[in-house]
A and B are shown apart, each in its own frame.
Chain A
């Protein structure tokens, strides 16, 4: 398959404490020459301060003061590196207490997830949870890195055993594309550079894999969806009748002349121009930010959606969704929340909880108690006006939403429409 050059790939990393996640990220940055001298010097100093020698790779991802003092990572942090092939954004999510909430956050925009397994321990509970979240959030590609191979004598048999363990439970989940790589983050085997220690492994190194995963199809290019962010009405004489609809294409492709419906009202019109920075384009596609003008004068505002006449999303006031509770304060019974989905904002009520997922054994429990932080449940939601949406499975951007508590303005839940 042809690999598109110079694309952006976003990935998350997940593992249990001490599986070597920080070391792995440090190794990726270090071996891909993304570490600057002053950062290196700072890490050398910190390593020495802790009474050790050399460079502790894990310290490159060292975060905020509170975390350093407690020695843990408590929030999602973003790291960047670039190779001649791609630019990478790592959402570094902690493996601790709030891991569900944080991993869900990091996973929401990721093309790929790296799931770390300690070769000595094999698949553990945490591995299952992380894989479950990856499948729930529909991360298109999962790379299972079996780390610390140096501690199991680089044994092929052990690697295969872990693959089997993983495939056994993962077959029950909807994970699209899984691959396995045996690595040692500490020694650098198969992270950026190929190793002589595992000649039995014929596959790619982790970096090579990240550089070559085919991601162009991760974005829906079939169903045109254009949620209007704002309407541009210039004050100058030159543009008296100009009405530009500004937004980002969240799915599909659009061309000048296409017939579109404007939802929820349902009026139809034709695309007159597609503009980017004042220049006219013949066509545009997701995820481009553009300005669209129409042949007809129609009253359109933020939260409306332009779609093709013959390819329309669902339009309903009742939605069923998987939600993950993100807030310290549990769900309040019969409370009204604000639902934000694309650029549309409405009032919403969680009508009923169908079941909660027990993330430890993936069982579905008929548990109707209010949702607590980190809990995942299937719920029915009613909104005061229709939402225009697709299933999360077919479009992550039109199938996702957040709930906001008006009493605190906090973002309390993340939802994926089924």
Chain B
């Protein structure tokens, strides 16, 4: 009997596929929240596996802050065309133009918090009843209690104190009109698992994850990419460094780390030696101890 067991990566894969198929069976209009980051790429890859030989039955939905890495957009469009999937874009710029949200002011202003409104508006407009996300419980402490099937009320809000219990592999996706779900198929994966799996499966990821020369500015204790959106303070200067990114998000707040890991093998090697969490380089999480939790309650990813 000894050969009949799965390695943990295979078990995580099987679990994620099971969850994705439950989404397909239980919801009317589910989408994959696609940020262009490795986690949402992984979820998309798993969805492909789950439904072969059918094509991925979920559109990809991108909440576009307008502050993108150009590489991310190119990658997104290529993937969408390879999959033959539908792309839905929710534009933060449009939310600003329509007066739904106000652009933040000040030195550390970002469009991160504004995404929530655009996300919820797009969900409502498109009548989406389930948004599949790449969130992982190891990312941040507020996520540690997140369910696989996470219920959102008709304001799109998460109530961490009143979550449905989730037992065995029985997922309750029932909802009333106006409510929706967020589903996280890779809840149980860690950053290391994601990298190991990407390497094993040879999954295409944006080149930003590999070390490359880039113009950057030292802000908020990390290397922020220099782009047209960055306003330099008098003491700040643009320098060229060999860096790579551990997460990809809004280009104005996503910090890179100095690295020489320019192949997937080297990245995996480096991640396994890493002494800081990946979100440690994101200015949005540094605002306060409970920054993530507060945003999640509002309806953030």
With A and B bound together, what is the CA distance between A275 and B51 in angstroms?
11
* Residue of A with least CB distance to B4: A285
Min CB gap A399→B, angstroms? 10
A248 at the interface (CB under 8 A from B): yes
Min CB gap B212→A, angstroms? 24
Contact A63 B145 (CB under 8 A): yes
Contact B7 A38 (CB under 8 A): no
Stretch touching chain B among A160-168, A304-312, A358-366, A401-409: A401-409
Contact A221 B145 (CB under 8 A): no
* Residue of A with least CB distance to B21: A229
Min CB gap A243→B, angstroms? 11
A104 at the interface (CB under 8 A from B): yes
Min CB gap A110→B, angstroms? 11
B276 surroundings in chain A (CB, below 8 A): 36-38
A86 surroundings in chain B (CB, below 8 A): 8
Q: How large is the interface on A (under 10, 10 to 19, 20 to 34, 35 or more residues)?
A: 35 or more
Q: Which of A38, A247, A396 has the most CB of B within 10 A?
A: A38
Min CB gap A172→B, angstroms? 25
Which residues of A, 307-364, contact B by the 8 Å Cβ criterion? 326, 338, 340-341, 343
A to B contact number (C-beta, < 8 Å) = 176
Min CB gap B250→A, angstroms? 20
Contact B167 A2 (CB under 8 A): no
A80 at the interface (CB under 8 A from B): yes
- Which of these, A8, A64, A221, A406, contacts B11 with CB under 8 Å? A8
Which residues of A, 384-418, contact B by the 8 Å Cβ criterion? 396-397, 400-402, 404, 406, 409-411, 414
B165 at the interface (CB under 8 A from A): yes
With A and B bound together, what is the CA distance between A311 and B280 in angstroms?
53
Contact A221 B4 (CB under 8 A): yes
B231 at the interface (CB under 8 A from A): no
A281 at the interface (CB under 8 A from B): no
Min CB gap B110→A, angstroms? 20
Min CB gap B221→A, angstroms? 10
B298 at the interface (CB under 8 A from A): no
Which residues of A, 93-152, contact B by the 8 Å Cβ criterion? 101-102, 104-105, 108-109
Stretch touching chain B among A186-194, A202-210, A231-239: A231-239
With A and B bound together, what is the CA distance between A406 and B172 in angstroms?
11
Contact A288 B54 (CB under 8 A): no
A272 at the interface (CB under 8 A from B): no
B174 surroundings in chain A (CB, below 8 A): 338, 404, 406, 409
Min CB gap B286→A, angstroms? 9
Q: How large is the interface on B (under 10, 10 to 19, 20 to 34, 35 or more residues)?
A: 35 or more
Contact B289 A42 (CB under 8 A): yes
B69 surroundings in chain A (CB, below 8 A): none
Stretch touching chain A among B12-20, B75-83, B88-96: B12-20
Contact B141 A80 (CB under 8 A): no
With A and B bound together, what is the CA distance between A42 and B290 in angstroms?
12
* Residue of A with least CB distance to B172: A411
* Residue of B with least CB distance to A106: B167
Contact B167 A400 (CB under 8 A): yes
Contact B172 A288 (CB under 8 A): no
With A and B bound together, what is the CA distance between A103 and B8 in angstroms?
24
B14 surroundings in chain A (CB, below 8 A): 248, 287-289
Contact B2 A2 (CB under 8 A): yes
Contact B168 A109 (CB under 8 A): yes
A28 at the interface (CB under 8 A from B): no
15 A-B pairs whose Cβ atoms sit less than 8 Å apart in the complex: A8-B11, A37-B276, A64-B142, A87-B8, A101-B165, A102-B165, A108-B167, A109-B168, A217-B1, A230-B24, A248-B169, A287-B14, A326-B165, A404-B174, A414-B165
**Interface residues, chain B, with chain A CB atoms under 8 Å away:** 1-2, 4-15, 17-18, 21-22, 24-25, 48-55, 137-138, 141-142, 144-145, 160-161, 163-170, 172, 174-176, 187-188, 190, 192-193, 274-277, 280, 289-290, 293-294
